[in-house]
A and B are shown apart, each in its own frame.
Chain A
Amino acid sequence: MTEAWNMLCIFGLALITLVTRSFFFISDKHWKLPEGVVRGLQFAPIAALSAVIFPEIFVWQGEFALPLTNAKIYGALAGAVFFIIKRGQGQAVFGTIVVGMCVYIPLHLGLGWN
């Protein structure tokens, strides 16, 4: 493929980032979302995050995987437990990352778990 083709492709992808992220407010026209939709959208952020997280942990090579040697499960649990103990105070998300990795890395690299 030529360099120009690749650049065109990348510019297109950048435009897609812009269009999808601003989809409902690109135009200046005034309209209101139905009340039910506004109420429903408060549940969207957490669902979106867990929809990314769960498959990352539980799907291994395209299949649901819940073996006891899934290091990600222990890392994720350790991280979540830390967050809950800290009640989300201070830099709790940072602590979640550190604690989770401290559990995950030894299991993953030391014991060779997934």
Chain B
Amino acid sequence: MFFIKENYSHPAFKVGMRDISSAAPGVAAWGMMIGVSMIQSGMSVVDSVAMTLLVFAGSSQLAAIPLIVVGAPLWVIWATAFCVNLRFVVFSAHLRGYMMSWPRWQRLCAAYLTADLSYVQFVRRFQSPSTEPEGQRVEQAYLAGNCFVNWSSWMMASLFGIALAHYIPIQWGLGFAGVLALIGVTCSLANSLLKVISCVAGGCVATVYFLLPLKLNILLAIICSVCTCLLLEEIYIRNKKSSTGASND
């Protein structure tokens, strides 16, 4: 990962850093709000710092905080976090093709550090996994650089939020900057009609099923969008085949 010399001395490391740096202020705003809300919900400073440094997953932290504060059973907290994180299981299926050529400990380090935006930008830049060692080197360095900036801006902002929790006005809505960063990255992904359909379908499903517990609306939205787009693609390909077949007659 980013502490390996082969990665941070590779030119692709800088490319990864540049890609994420544009969204980093949003990541930082979101991280800061999580830091603030840990303290404001009544967690101790030690717990909040430990959670920030170790857990590194905003949405599962947000789900776990109230449960920790009320002293819910461990298995409930863990099961909740697992469900909230289920989208990462889908992402890991996608990343598998890229990762399997790396040694296991590097795979695990990289996976731990790859949050939503790093994953999205990585698979956007590398549409399919390279089969050449040099290509794999580039992928690894890019992801390392991307994760490095994402991780460090998140950490600094979150710790800053913990330190100044009582002075940062949560009602100002600074966390909206995080949503805006996601909007920018989403726009950068929408490069085909099917992707736009996937975007709209995912957003609508997640909104309609908002009341599902454990953020399962997000998992459901991903599954529905992927299936819809596959189906539409299939229909399109079939139509094209039959129409070219007809014109040949």
B87 interface contact, C-beta 8 A:
yes
Give complex CA distance A49, B183 in Å: 8
B158 interface contact, C-beta 8 A:
no
Give complex CA distance A5, B44 in Å: 13
Give complex CA distance A58, B211 in Å: 13
* Residues of A contacting B97 in the complex (Cβ-Cβ under 8 angstroms): 33, 38
**Contact status B225-A43, CB under 8 Å:** yes
Partner pick for B93 among A14, A41, A79, A93, CB 8 A cutoff: A41
B47 interface contact, C-beta 8 A:
yes
Given A33-B96, A39-B230, A48-B222, answer yes or no on A53-B188 (Cβ-Cβ < 8 Å).
no
Q: How far does the Cβ of B132 sit from chain A's closest Cβ, in whole Å?
A: 19
Q: How far does the Cβ of A82 sit from chain B's closest Cβ, in whole Å?
A: 9
* Residues of B contacting A8 in the complex (Cβ-Cβ under 8 angstroms): 74
Partner pick for A10 among B21, B51, B179, CB 8 A cutoff: B51
B198 interface contact, C-beta 8 A:
yes
**Contact status A79-B183, CB under 8 Å:** yes
**CB-CB contacts below 8 Å: A21-70 with B:** 21-26, 28, 30, 33, 36-59, 62, 64
Partner pick for B119 among A6, A45, A108, CB 8 A cutoff: A45
* Residues of B contacting A84 in the complex (Cβ-Cβ under 8 angstroms): 187
Give complex CA distance A41, B99 in Å: 15
Give complex CA distance A3, B99 in Å: 37
**Contact status B233-A55, CB under 8 Å:** no
**CB-CB contacts below 8 Å: B202-249 with A:** 202-207, 210-211, 217-218, 221-222, 224-227, 229-230, 233
**Contact status B23-A94, CB under 8 Å:** yes
**Contact status B189-A46, CB under 8 Å:** yes
Kindly report which residue of chain A lies nearest to residue B190, judged by CB atoms: A46
Tally chain B residues at the interface, Cβ within 8 Å: 92
Give complex CA distance A113, B25 in Å: 24
Q: Mark A75-109, 1 if CB is under 8 A from B, else 0.
A: 11001100110001001111111001100110011
Kindly report which residue of chain A lies nearest to residue B23, judged by CB atoms: A93
**Contact status B22-A92, CB under 8 Å:** yes
Q: Mark B191-205, 1 if CB is under 8 A from A, else 0.
A: 000110011111111
Partner pick for B203 among A25, A45, A50, A88, CB 8 A cutoff: A50
Partner pick for A12 among B78, B177, B222, B224, CB 8 A cutoff: B78
**Contact status B210-A59, CB under 8 Å:** yes
**Contact status B88-A23, CB under 8 Å:** yes
**CB-CB contacts below 8 Å: B76-132 with A:** 77-78, 81-82, 85-97, 99-100, 104, 107-108, 111-112, 114, 116, 119-120, 123-124, 127
Query: Chain A interface (Cβ within 8 Å of chain B)?
Result: 1, 3, 5-14, 16-26, 28, 30, 33, 36-59, 62, 64, 71-72, 75-76, 79-80, 83-84, 88, 91-97, 100-101, 104-105, 108-109
A-B contact pairs, 10 of them (CB 8 A): A7-B50, A25-B107, A25-B111, A33-B96, A41-B93, A53-B179, A53-B183, A92-B184, A94-B184, A104-B176
Query: Chain B interface (Cβ within 8 Å of chain A)?
Result: 21-23, 25-26, 44, 46-47, 50-51, 54-57, 60-61, 64, 68, 71, 74, 77-78, 81-82, 85-97, 99-100, 104, 107-108, 111-112, 114, 116, 119-120, 123-124, 127, 172-173, 176-177, 179-190, 194-195, 198-207, 210-211, 217-218, 221-222, 224-227, 229-230, 233
Task: Sort A-B residue pairs by CB-CB distance and give the 4 closest, nearest first.
Answer: A47-B202, A54-B203, A93-B184, A22-B111
